[in-house]
Amino acid sequence: PGLGEIQKIEIDPTVGGRFTFVDRREGEDILHTGEYLEIDRPRRIVFTWSIPESSDDVSKVTIEITPKAMGCDVVLTHELKPEWVNYRKDIAGSWKKMLDALARAMDTGEEE
C-alpha cells in the first residue's frame, strides 16, 4: 500500500490530546484517529492508532528517538492484536514510507 495524499489533518499534540487525518488512496478517503498517551520531548511519544471505517480495534504506537552524533535513531513499535498479524508487512511498509518521507523533508526542508 502506498501513502495517500493528505486531505485534512487536525492535531492537539498534548497528553490526552487527539489527532485525526484523512488521506486519499486510489480515490478513497481514509480516516485515521488517535490519542496521545505520552509525550516526552524529544525522546518518546506514545499514541493510540485506529482506522474507524475498517475496524473498531485501537492499537498502540510507540516512537523512541535516540540522539546520535549525526542525527538520531528512531524506533517505531506498533503493537497489533493477533488478528492483524497477516497485515504486519503492509503496516510496517506504510510506517517505513512515512518515516522515509519525514527524513526527506528534514533533509531538504521540503514537503512531498
Looking up residue 65, the CATH number of its domain turns out to be 3.30.530.20
The grid cell for 89 is: 508487512
| Residue of higher predicted confidence among 112 and 94 | 94
The domain of 97 spans 5-108
Query: What is the pTM (predicted TM-score) of this model?
Result: 0.86
When comparing pLDDT for 110 and 112, which is higher?
110
d(CA 85, CA 9): 28
Number of domain units in the chain: 1
Taking 70 as the threshold, does the pLDDT of residue 3 lie above it?
Answer: no
Query: How does pLDDT run across 28-85, given as a tens digit for each residue?
Result: 999 999 999 999 999 999 999 999 988 889 999 999 999 999 889 999 999 999 988 8
Which of 38, 64, 62, 39 lies closest to 49, judged by CA? 62
Give residue 37's pLDDT.
99
Single out the residue of 32, 42, 28 nearest to residue 78, CA to CA.
32
Compute the average pLDDT of residues 11-39: 95
